[in-house]
Amino acid sequence: EDQVTQSPEALRLQEGESSSLNCSYTVSGLRGLFWYRQDPGKGPEFLFTLYSAGEEKEKERLKATLTKKESFLHITAPKPEDSATYLCAVQGPGNTGKLIFGQGTTLQVKP
Amino acid sequence: NAGVTQTPKFQVLKTGQSMTLQCAQDMNHNSMYWYRQDPGMGLRLIYYSASEGTTDKGEVPNGYNVSRLNKREFSLRLESAAPSQTSVYFCASSDIGTEQYFGPGTRLTVT
């Protein structure tokens, strides 16, 4: 069964304290791994797509990496405005476009 | 360019009442999706439409029906609401195999 597990569930950081969020997945034939950011009361906002092991993508203080079993979202020198829930999702084989989401990691960055 | 829009934003229903959640996208995407988000459960796919004229069940379809009205619009109907359907509902759209873009959500309470 296709599955996505994110860890930790919650993470508290001081401003400037770098860390990483983990997304482990089991899927038969990965077509893509997606990272989203969700602020309270809002819909998920797309961040990155990764397609193959070894691929990396960067945006401001965020960097996403992918291996054959997991993805990491590295946050370098975070700021309070980076506080949000980060969601990981995988797309399996077929042309449906369906995503399987993890439960998310809620990040709080304190000034 | 509004992206994905959803109406209503909030709704309170009594058990047994019916309602339709509306979703529209202006990005000319072929595929559209309905998710529900519950605490501790993550985003779960209810129904999806890979292309205009087709709809398919997702992970949690029971108690729901959908209509792909045209390429832009995808509605979700609750025929007889139950307290277990209290949730936040998100609509999303994409081209096949690419990232999904989400609407702002509908917060539904069934009493």
CB contact under 8 A, A96 and B48: yes
B58 contacts on A by Cβ (under 8 Å): 98
For range B56-72, the mean pLDDT: 96
Q: Model confidence over A64-105: pLDDT tens digits?
A: 999 999 999 999 999 999 999 999 999 987 777 889 999 999
d(CA A103, CA B3): 25
Confidence band of A36 (pLDDT split at 50, 70, 90): very high
Instruction: Determine the distance in angstroms separating the CA of A110 from the nearest CA of chain B, rounded to an integer.
Output: 24
Q: For residue B39, is pLDDT > 90?
A: no
B96 contacts on A by Cβ (under 8 Å): 95-97
d(CA B82, CA A107): 33
DSSP B111: -
Q: Model confidence over A52-61: pLDDT tens digits?
A: 999 999 999 9
d(CA B87, CA B109): 7
CB contact under 8 A, B48 and A87: no
B33 contacts on A by Cβ (under 8 Å): 97-99
The number of beta carbons lying within 10 Å of the beta carbon of residue A85 is 18
The two tokens of residue B14 are 């009594």
**Do the beta carbons of residue A82 and residue A18 sit within 8 Å?**
no
Of B44, B45, B104, the CB nearest to A43: B104
pLDDT at residue A19, as a whole number: 98
Buried b (16+ CB within 10 A) or exposed e, B71-81: bbbbbbebeeb
